[in-house]
Amino acid sequence: MSQSPDQGQTGKAIGMILLANLLFSMVDTSTKWLVGAGLAALQLAFLRYFIHFVITLVQTRHRSHIAVKLTKRQRALVAIRAFCLVSATVANFFALGHLPLAVTAAILFVSPVLICIFAWALLGETITPRHWLAVILGLAGVLLIVQPFGEAVNWYAVLMLYPATGMAMYTVLTRKLSGEIRPATLQFYTGALGTIVLLPFGLSAWAAISTPLEWTLAFSIGAFAWAGHEILTRAHAHAEASVLAPFGYSFVLYLSLAGWIVFDHVPAWNVAVGAVIIVAAGLTIWAANRDRNASILRHVPDP
C-alpha cells in the first residue's frame, strides 16, 4: 500500500527529528566531558554559538538577502525564539557539570508535554483530555526524578526545568515561523544573538583548551548543534509540532546510553521510572493526535 503525500511528509519529519536528537545528544555528551576536563560552561556555550554562526555564514555566503527584511512581528518572534534557545543552552550546560546525562535528558524532555500546551495557546492546535492526561503524567515523572519533597533534592535538577520550558517555546516558535522565514535566516539570527550575548561572558570565563581532543570536541559542539537545529527547523515544516513532540523522547534514550558508555552512569531507579512515565506522557500525546487526525479524515468528503 502506497503512502499518501501527507503520510510520507510526516514520516520524513519523524526521521529528521530522530537524527536531530542524536546530534543534540552528541552536543551534551561532549559538553559534559569538557566541563569535567576543566572548561567553563559559559566558555562552551559561547563556542557553541560562535561556531554555529560561522557555519551559517559559510553556508549562506553565496546567497543574497540572508538577513531578509522582517516585519516587526517577525523580528520579535525571531528574537524571542533565539533567546529561548540561548538561555536554555546556558542553563543546560551549567547543569551538565553536576548531573548524570540520564537525569538531564529525562527532565529536559518533559518539553514535549509543554509543547502541547504552547502549541494550543500559540498555534491553535487542538488539545484534548488525553493531552491534559499527558501533562499530568509528564509532571509526575519530573517530580519522581527531582524529588523536591525530601533532602535528596538537587537544585541543578530543578534548574533543568528552565531548559525544558525554553526548548518547548523554541520548538513551537520554530513551527510558527518555518512557513514564513527560511531556515537559513532563522539559523543566522540564532547564531548571531548567541554569539553577541555570550561573547563577554565566554571570554571572562575562558580556560585554556590544551589537547587536540578538547579542540575537536569544542568544535563539534557547535557543528553538531548547527546541524541538529537545521534538521529540526526543516522537520517542523513538514508536520505539526504536537505530532513530532513525542519523538523527541529519543533524546532520553540517546543520552542514557551515552552516560552509561562514556561516563559509566547507570540511571538510578527513580530516574529510570520517571523517564518511563515521561515517555508514556509523550506516547499519550501521539495517540491523541493520531486519533484526532483519523477523525478529521473520516469527516472529509470524497472529491
Phi, psi of 67 (to 5 degrees): -90, 70
Tell me the per-residue pLDDT of 70-83, one tens digit each, with 9 for 90 and over.
788 888 888 899 89
pLDDT at residue 281, rounded to an integer: 76
pTM of the entire structure?
A: 0.74
Nearby residues of 160 by Cβ (< 8 Å), 6 or more positions away = 91, 92, 95, 99, 103, 104, 107, 108
Angle at 106 between CA 10 and CA 252, to 5 degrees: 50
pLDDT at residue 204, rounded to an integer: 93
Tell me the per-residue pLDDT of 161-206, one tens digit each, with 9 for 90 and over.
898 888 888 888 887 787 777 777 887 888 888 999 999 999 999 9
Burial class of residue 182, CB neighbours in 10 A (0-12, 13-18, 19+)? middle
pLDDT at residue 151, rounded to an integer: 47
Q: Say if CB 246 and CB 80 are below 8 A apart.
A: no
pLDDT at residue 212, rounded to an integer: 93
For residue 60, CA distances in Å to 35, 57, 226 come to 32, 5, 13
Q: What is the mean pLDDT of each run of 10 residues along the chain (303 residues)?
A: 57 87 92 92 94 85 60 87 90 88 77 75 72 75 66 72 87 79 80 92 90 93 89 78 70 82 81 78 71 53 43
Question: Which three cell numbers, joined as nine digits, stand for 152?
Answer: 535528596
pLDDT at residue 23, rounded to an integer: 94
CA distance 69 to 206: 35
pLDDT at residue 196, rounded to an integer: 93
